[in-house]
Amino acid sequence: MRRLLVTVLLAALVALAGCGGSGTTTTAPTTDETTAATTTQESVSDFPPGASASGLTNASASGLTNASALIEAHIDALNDTAYAFELDATNTGGDTETRTRFAGATDGDDTVFRQNTTGSALELYASGDYALQRQSSGDTTRYQVLQGPIAAQQASSMTTVQQLVLATYLGAGDYAVTGTTTSDGTEYVELRATGVNESSSTAENVESFEATLLVTQDGRIDEFTGTVRANQSGTTTTTEFSYGVTDVGSADPSAPAWAADIPQVTASVADGGNALVVENTGGSAVAANTSLTLMTDAGYADVTFAAELAPGETAYVAATEGDGGLTATVTRDAPADGGFDFASANRVVLTGQAGSVVFQLVVEN
């Protein structure tokens, strides 16, 4: 027998979201339930990527020969289209219960991604190379305003979480293709696992594994549910998981209400390169005397906003080079030509913390 890495999976999911801590359990929004499917045992003529006829009539013969191919097809089917998803995983063992829920939606441009686990929560809103993030643990809440590659990286965690979950549970079970089924007008190939994939590296000491998934012929996994029982260090643990994709082609993510509570600040290099343009595009004001750090190829400089920067207002950061590095000044009017050429830097970063908000604004030339 092999032990499914349930605890490792849940911990990895939390780590991907960047949260931790203890506190009360919070819950992510749920998605609408679909019409109950009716399964038929008719012959399957077209198999999804990674599936085969070998398990069609014999549950002991794997009907899923290449889980990686199925996962790749699933992600490809969702790329460049709007969709929403939800994952719910509950792990119980002894007197301990841990619940992790993920929910997300994207339209290809904007993305909303939520993670809730026992004691902590994270919510991300990303649009292009710009993202706002809210993290809470117990009574503590922190925010991040991100611009540049790190924003895109955070948005991609929505895909990464799904890949990790699918790889873990698809690899752990021995699946059979049981036929076709229709749900809400969509025809699926149904696969069921009633045993453990003994050759899988993702499973060890599993006592039982049951799962069902509904897959379109092009490989999109719209529903995946299951129960895992394992013996971990003498303690029997049970994990119940469910994964679902909804609103394909119609998901419409929007900025969360808490975005209005933080300064939505952006940075860009001015025409001519003589200043870094800092604009508050919405939300709350940047408080007076906020100090951030300017980082360029030429060195570092402290940047202090002496006056409040309210939504709709713009400030200009100019810099000069000296023996001690850079010296920066902040004005409300575009500076005259001269000084440090921001356009000549490979990367310009404005970073720092003001209260509970961390700014990391990156401009790549």
What digits encode the pLDDT tens for the residues 322-337? 887 899 999 999 998 7
Q: Is the pLDDT of residue 291 over 50?
A: yes
Q: Is the pLDDT of residue 223 over 50?
A: yes
pLDDT band for position 61 (cuts 50, 70, 90)? very low
pLDDT at 308: 97
Mean pLDDT of 283-298: 96
Tokens at 90, concatenated: 């509950």
Range in 85-94, 123-132, 194-203, 230-239 with the lowest mean pLDDT: 194-203
Q: What is the rounded CA–CA span in Å between residue 90 and residue 36?
A: 23
Q: What is the pTM of this model?
A: 0.82
**Phi and psi at residue 74, to the nearest 5°:** -60, -50
Strands (E), the chain: 38-40, 83-93, 96-106, 110-117, 120-127, 130-137, 140-147, 173-183, 186-196, 206-215, 221-232, 235-246, 263-269, 276-283, 290-296, 299-305, 314-322, 325-331, 347-354, 357-364
User: Across all residues in the chain, what is the average pLDDT?
Assistant: 84
**Distances in Å between the alpha carbon of 349 and those of 262, 299, 334?**
19, 11, 19
Residue type, 250: S
178-201 tens-digit pLDDT: 888 888 889 999 999 988 887 766
141-165 tens-digit pLDDT: 999 999 999 998 888 889 999 999 8
Q: What is the rounded CA–CA span in Å between residue 157 and residue 75?
A: 13
Q: Is the pLDDT of residue 136 over 50?
A: yes
